[in-house]
Copies of this chain bind each other. A is one copy, B any other.
Amino acid sequence: MDKSTQYKIFNDPIHGFITVPKGLILDLVDHPYIQRLRRIKQMGLGYLVFPAAEHSRFSHALGAMELAQRTLNNLREKDTTISPAEYEATLIAVLLHDVGHGPLSHTLEFDLIEDFHHEKMTLAVMRHLNRETNGKLDLAIKIFTDQYPKKPFLNQLISSQLDIDRLDYLKRDSAFTNVYEGSVGIERILKTMRVLKGNIVIEKKGIYAIENYILARRLMYMQVYLHKTVLSADKLVRQIFDRVRKLINDEKKLYHASPALQYFLENKPSAKKDIKSEVMQKYLQLDDNDVFQSIKYWQYSSDPILANLCKRFQSRKLFRTTFLDKKPSKKIKKKVLTKTQKVLKKRGLPYDEESAGYFYSFDESYSEAYQYEKEGIWILEEKDNAVEFSKAADTKNIIALTEPVVKPYVVHLKDIEL
């Protein structure tokens, strides 16, 4: 049988050809819930610093699914049994792993629904799709939730210190941001993966590719994901949403927003227990455009604070980020408040403490390139004997570089000096 008629080929600047199996998987790709990911940028507001980083979670999802295929094919070559059903289920789990992301991904992750985490929503969506397809996603959900003890490595491909998600996004994000230092030799990593006693391990000759991968991830956090201007843009959007919610609470007045966004602003539902079907349905109507459209029209709000914040966003007049040596003292907090108030007053904006609070914010950034204490990456030093990466002979010292990096910072008006 001619297998080339059994898949559809997409073009991708990162991986070349992406092969999507026809049938269930192609149907899922075309499903409005997955198509919606085309309207959610992979790097959130990162495009404000890296202008070409406009790629979506959809192209990332396709890319990751392609890598999953290559990985599973490699593992099969190395004599690991993977049934057609397991193969398909893994691809589905990878394809859908981000389907629960909301507008601007992490920026607003905790602002629309209480006790939210995008993985909760992902699972809710997967279950919904499972019902729609009469249970065809049963195995995918088992693998995704690590309820498939027969082959733990399948879950590890989806979520671990060395999962396919990371491989695709590091490669993709570093390419689109032109941050060479974040680039990763995924071919070599895929080529040296194998399964030992049900778990993913890396053959010894791949150890330096792993070292490079961990350090590349560290550099992407330092240079891109936690870039000062990205941090400040994130804060600005969150302040906008805080302000809108405040206005809604105070006045119950309607602000131009899409119906779905309005729903969340007015209700802020909770995800403490299960996500209700209505909440999920509304959520899946949201994408980045709801936010961007709203901000565009909120520029003309009669509320001077909201209007000011939104105009800043539209003309890229962002706040400045200043890193602090240590956790901020009361004194510095007071200083920033006072200086902010002075500027606002001069500009004829409300400058009471609460109002001023929309124009600065203290926070800390956090990154951790590799968590060896939890799951870790395992290196096959000899036949049947794997050691955790940080304990492998040639890379012991690397652990020093993978300590969590915590940096306190303050986001503030550009016209105030710290």
Contacts and interface: CB of A to CB of B under 8 A. Distances in A.
A179 to B, nearest CB: 7
Contacts of A191: 9, 17
Interface stretch (A132-140, A288-296, A342-350): A288-296
A209 B215 CA distance: 12
Contacts of A219: 208, 211-212
Given A178-B16, A212-B181, A78 B285 contact: no
Quickly give the copy total for this chain: 4
Contacts of A149: none
A258 B78 CA distance: 49
Interface stretch (A111-119, A121-129, A230-238, A396-404): A396-404
SS class, residues of chain A in contact with chain B: helix
A338 to B, nearest CB: 26
A11 B177 contact: yes
Interface in A64-78: 74, 77-78
A414 interface: no
A106 interface: no
Interface in A1-19: 1-4, 9-14, 16-18
Contact of A293 (B2, B184, B223, B290): B290
Nearest to A19: B191
A79 B3 contact: yes
Interface stretch (A44-52, A85-93, A152-160, A374-382): A44-52
A363 B181 CA distance: 34
A74 to B, nearest CB: 8
A3 B78 contact: yes
Contact of A77 (B4, B50, B209, B285): B4
A320 interface: no
Interface of A: 1-4, 9-14, 16-18, 30-32, 35, 38-39, 47, 50-52, 54-56, 58-59, 62, 74, 77-79, 175-181, 183-185, 187-188, 191, 194, 208-209, 211-212, 215, 219, 222-223, 256, 258-259, 285, 287, 289-290, 292-293, 296-297, 314-317, 394, 397-398, 400-401, 403, 405
Which 3 pairs of residues, A with B, have the shortest CB-CB distance? A180-B185, A397-B400, A11-B178
Given A222-B394, A289-B292, 15 more contacts: A3-B77, A4-B74, A12-B51, A13-B177, A16-B187, A30-B317, A32-B314, A208-B219, A211-B215, A215-B215, A285-B296, A397-B403, A398-B400, A398-B401, A400-B401
